[in-house]
Structure 1
């Protein structure tokens, strides 16, 4: 049978046709039980493949092994190769999870060139570890928020280009080594010195990003590392 062969699923009319027999469940590859159950039921197979693809990537399983597991599962349950949409769902989910993990390891996001949230957290935490620094009075966060994307503007590349422009504007205004990172889907954050020029720089940044309809404001830092981490978590939410 061909690799993308058509097969029927759960169409026998037998009320037990969508149940996964125990003898098959015992032989399903690790992490593929949900996929096997979805194949047996004949529904939600792409969603099950996406969840499994992400889980396998987090476990360090290669894409080749993941695809082999999907093929073995399909043969166990249906006696046929997986459909193209199932292969694609698993592969895309695996790739997205892997890229996300690599991005967290890196200091910068590969698409925008901005510091990752993990790197920004580290930079903020380092300030609190310095006994000579009163973080809440010496530093602040300057937040640049892009507007919500419309349906026509929602393509990932369009969003990445907008975030890159906001980051470039922030670097122009804060050009002395401050950490500038992406926080959440729509925000760029500058870890800036709270000095006499801070308000003026925030105003300049607001003018520069006006073409992107961005909001700019200054966010004070709290008096503890734990509270600062909660603040960054809050800023990641839309």
Structure 2
């Protein structure tokens, strides 16, 4: 079997979750730096080695979707801007946090306001529908910009969250309440969550906090 397709070969011969194995192969190949053409060639070769002819549409779609989303996530980490939403990228937010710690500013005077989109009964949670999900994130970001319109950094965090790096001043609570009111009136399929995260004492812990929020 081609490299990274061993699990798919086993799934084909055993009749287990073939589409899941295709998705895992797509993710692994994207992390390895394989091109989409290489991924598709490996999929075809695996199908033929298993004596199943050519791969069906559903298998190709599962592989390409997983490869595309993994590659897109990697590009988001490199860029200062999220290309789908127009918000700052998570990598840019991370660099802004590092700058605060490096300059020796009092991080207790800053906070991270987090907007979390609903999960579950949401068409954008379907595999491959990252464009619908991005539009939902973009809408939340636009509302955040109407309230946090100064020098705050408004960034996409992971797949379902927006983070706003701002000063923890006497009007922060009022601004968050205004944003909550705007979000309550947005056309989403479920309730959005909104809260204030205090910044930890070290840059390393701040990075861990971002990673944890991105996984949520």
Q: When the two structures are superposed, what TM-score results if normalisation uses the length of structure 2?
A: 0.83
Structure 2, unaligned stretches of length 5 or more?
A: none
Please state if 1:199 is matched with 2:170.
Answer: no
What is the root-mean-square deviation in Å for CA atoms of aligned residues?
2.4
Change (3 A) 1:71 1:168: same
TM-score in terms of structure 1 length: 0.76
- The answer for the alignment partner of 2:149 in structure 1 is 175
Distance 1:206 1:47, change over 3 A: closer
**How far apart are residue 130 of structure 1 and its match?**
0.8
Give the aligned partner of residue 25 of structure 1: none
- Partner Cα distance (2:38, 2:184) in 1: 48
Q: 1:232 to 1:152 in 2, by over 3 A?
A: closer
Query: Of residues 182, 185, 196 in structure 2, which corresponds to 1:218?
Result: 196
CA distance in 2 between partners of 1:209 and 1:75 (Å) = 51
> Larger relative CO (CA 8 A, sep 6+): 1 or 2?
2
Larger-gyration structure (1/2): 1
1:154 Cα deviation after fit: 5.2
**Which one is further off, 109-118 or 164-173?**
109-118
Of residues 69, 84, 109, the one that matches 1:96 is 69
Deviations 1:160-218 (A, max 9, x none): 33322221121122212211112244332110022333233223222322213544332
Query: For 1:35 and 1:148, how far apart are their aligned partners in 2?
Result: 29
CA distance in 1, matches of 2:182, 2:36: 43
Task: Quote the offset at 1:127 in angstroms.
Answer: 0.7
**Where does structure 1 lack aligned partners over 5 or more consecutive residues?**
1-27
Report the alpha carbon displacement of residue 158 of structure 1 after superposing the two structures with TM.
4.8
Shift of 1:237: 4.7
Q: Structure 2 residue aligned with 1:113, among 68, 71, 86?
A: 86
